[in-house]
């Protein structure tokens, strides 16, 4: 129903959450980036950079207004931040990069992921999905994936155990595997995804995977990718089922139209 006058009810909708964003990106040349960005609260400071539309954050509200403390306001001082994008090196080369949102719980979440990868030799997917622990003072938050036996043992040591659904936000990892393979993962705590994109210029008679999948134009492959190309089990969404040249849009070959049609057909068949 469309009201011609003022609505009889006030329904502004649900409040938007305060969120930080993290992204981890790597390429076949060995370059890797871990970047965390935040405006702190919804719309940040409510001030934009003139001419850009970019919102400035309001993280200065984290300062302590009282003098004489570690976080007291001082000229030229930067406010503390829990953002912790991490790149782990091995013999001077990047091994993997990891990061996540989650406020002060970022620190321990990143640390636990690094321990999972190095000490426990987990895959990237196992490392991001493993149950997390957070403690401050005598309170210990344990994700519900941790057994009740462990929770009881922690409580016996005098800690106040608080079972929680999730600690921190959605983590993303990219790791360079032996043989040049890249593996990536994101976890269930957020709606992020791990995505792999590959391709090249279209050339007649050349296929990415000529022996698998449906027949299509020379530069396209439609069908499920082998497990090896999935990087240890993480999903590619639609790209899991269709590999198409990145440069298709820049060519003028007649097959480009077929390529786009096959992409849409494959995507609709997946119903995702």
Instruction: Give tens-digit pLDDT for 114-166.
Output: 999 999 999 999 999 999 999 988 899 999 899 999 999 999 999 999 999 99
Residue 154 to residues 129, 150, 160, 172, Cα–Cα distance (Å): 21, 6, 8, 29
Rounded Cα–Cα distance for residues 55 and 29 (Å)? 33
∠ CA 112-117-118 to the nearest 5 degrees? 100
The Cα 71–Cα 197 span in angstroms is 43
Asked if residue 253 is part of any domain, the answer here is yes
SS3 at position 8: coil
Residues 205 and 264 occupy one common structural domain: yes
| Inside any domain, residue 100 | yes
Q: Is residue 114 part of a domain?
A: yes
* Pairwise CA distance, residues 161 & 89, whole Å: 35
Residue 261 or residue 81, greater confidence: 81
Residues 95 and 177 in one domain: yes
DSSP code at position 259: H
Domain range for 94 is: 20-37+79-132+167-186
Query: Looking at the structure, do residues 234 and 264 belong to the same domain, yes or no?
Result: yes
Q: How many CB atoms lie within 10 A of CB 238?
A: 15
Distance CA 113, CA 115 (A): 5
| Residue 117: predicted pLDDT | 95
Q: Is the same domain home to 177 and 216? A: no
Q: Can you tell me the distance from the alpha carbon of 256 to that of 199, in angstroms, rounded to the nearest whole number?
A: 14
176 domain residue, yes or no: yes
pLDDT band of residue 193 (cuts 50, 70, 90) is confident
| pLDDT single digits (tens) 34-82 | 999 888 888 888 899 999 988 888 888 889 989 999 889 999 998 888 8
180 and 256 fall within a common domain: no
Distance CA 64, CA 78 (A): 12
Task: Print burial letters for 15-39: b (CB count within 10 Å at least 16), e (below 16).
Answer: eeeeebbbebebeeeeebebebebb
pLDDT band at 27; cut points 50, 70, 90: confident
Domain membership flag for residue 199 = yes
Domain shared by 174 and 230, yes or no? no
The pLDDT score that the predictor gives to residue 28 is: 80
Given a cut of 60, whether residue 256 has pLDDT beyond it is no
Mean per-residue pLDDT for 89-108?
Answer: 92
- 10 lies in some domain: no
Q: What average pLDDT does the segment 96-108 reach?
A: 92
Q: Is residue 90, in this structure, part of any structural domain at all?
A: yes
Q: Tell me 243's DSSP state.
A: E
Residue 266: pLDDT over 90: no
Q: What is the CATH number of the domain that holds 92?
A: 3.60.20.40
Q: Which tokens sit at 113? A: 């992921």
Residue where a domain stops, chosen among 186, 221, 250? 186
> How many structural domains comprise the chain?
2
Which of these ranges, 12-26, 61-75, 135-149, 193-207, has the smallest mean pLDDT?
193-207
**Do 176 and 229 lie in a common domain?**
no
Mean of pLDDT values over 182-210 = 68
The one catalytic residue among 4, 20, 108, 135: 20
For the chain, percent of residues with pLDDT exceeding 90:
36
What is the average pLDDT across 251-269? 46
For residue 32, what are the β-bridge partners?
26
Euclidean distance between CA atoms 128 and 119, whole angstroms: 14
* Within a domain: 153: no
Q: What pLDDT does residue 7 have?
A: 60
CA atoms of 35 and 22, how far apart (whole Å):
6
For 231-242, the pLDDT digits (tens) are 333 333 333 333
> Does one domain contain both 111 and 213?
no
Burial of 3 (0-12, 13-18, 19+ CB in 10 A): exposed
- Summarize pLDDT for 73-89 with one digit per residue, the tens: 999 998 888 889 999 99
Catalytic residue flag (residue 20): yes
């Amino acid at each position: 129903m469309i009201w011609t006058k003022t609505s009889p009810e006030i329904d502004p909708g649900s409040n938007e959450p305060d969120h930080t964003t993290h992204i981890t990106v790597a390429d076949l040349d060995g370059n890797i980036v871990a970047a965390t960005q935040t405006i702190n609260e919804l719309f940040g400071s409510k001030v934009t950079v003139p001419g850009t539309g970019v919102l400035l954050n309001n993280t200065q509200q984290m300062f302590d207004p009282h003098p004489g403390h570690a976080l007291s306001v001082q000229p030229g001082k930067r406010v503390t931040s829990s953002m912790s994008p991490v790149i782990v090196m091995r013999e001077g080369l990047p091994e993997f990069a990891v990061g996540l949102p989650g406020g002060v719980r970022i620190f321990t979440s990143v640390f636990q992921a690094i321990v999972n990868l190095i000490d426990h030799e987990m895959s990237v997917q196992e490392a991001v999905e493993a149950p997390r622990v957070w403690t401050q003072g005598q309170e210990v938050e344990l994700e519900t994936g941790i057994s009740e036996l462990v929770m009881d043992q922690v409580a016996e040591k005098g800690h106040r155990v608080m079972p929680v659904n999730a600690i921190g936000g959605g983590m993303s990892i990219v790791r360079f595997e032996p043989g040049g393979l890249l593996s990536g993962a994101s976890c269930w705590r957020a709606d992020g995804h791990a995505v792999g994109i590959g391709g090249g210029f279209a050339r007649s008679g050349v296929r990415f995977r000529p022996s698998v999948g449906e027949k299509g134009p020379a530069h396209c492959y439609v069908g499920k990718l082998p497990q090896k190309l999935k990087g240890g089990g993480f999903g590619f969404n639609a790209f899991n089922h269709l590999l198409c040249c990145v440069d298709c849009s820049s060519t003028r070959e007649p097959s480009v139209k077929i390529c786009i049609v096959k992409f849409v057909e494959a995507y609709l068949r997946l119903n995702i």
